[in-house]
Amino acid sequence: DVAHVARNAREADRKEVHHLSGRPMFDALWEAYQGHLKGWHVRTLLVEETQEPIAIYGKVPTGFPRVSAPFLIGTDRVADYPVFMLRGFSELIARCQGEDFFSNFVHHENELHIRWLKHHGFDVDDETVEIGVNPSPFHPFTRRSHV
């Protein structure tokens, strides 16, 4: 799953990983995926009919109690499922979030993710901050728990 998503990741997702960590996509995804061994909530989104992995999503700890950083790295095939990504994914977000406060950053050019985050009740700041090992403008975003 990790290798497939890493090889086929959306260009916007590749750009975010490059700016934030400077690491190859596979390495960044593998670290997150291995987090499930530590109790992190990391899942693969599969196409039901074919079992093709089209995204890896979840939350990773931030070092602060009950504050997690949500993430989603998708392939271009995510765009083939707009209804699910807009409607069906809400339940997965709520289950993933639990009682945590979500906080993370989205690259300023990643317009699709910014719209998707807003649709799912995330607050995306208008202002950007320069962050990452390859600094670039990112919008902070948050979402309060609805539990």
pLDDT at 77 exceeding the cut of 70:
yes
pLDDT at 85 exceeding the cut of 90:
no
Q: What is the pLDDT of residue 135?
A: 96
Tokens 């609805």 sit on residue: 146
- Burial (0-12, 13-18, 19+ Cβ within 10 Å), 13: buried
Q: What is the pLDDT of residue 65?
A: 92
pLDDT at 26 exceeding the cut of 90:
yes
Q: CA 105 to CA 107: how far, in whole Å?
A: 7
pLDDT at 23 exceeding the cut of 90:
yes
Q: CA 79 to CA 98: how far, in whole Å?
A: 26
Q: What is the pLDDT of residue 133?
A: 96
pLDDT digits (tens, 9 = 90+) for 94-108: 888 888 999 999 999
CA dihedral 20, 41, 77, 85 (to 10 degrees): -110
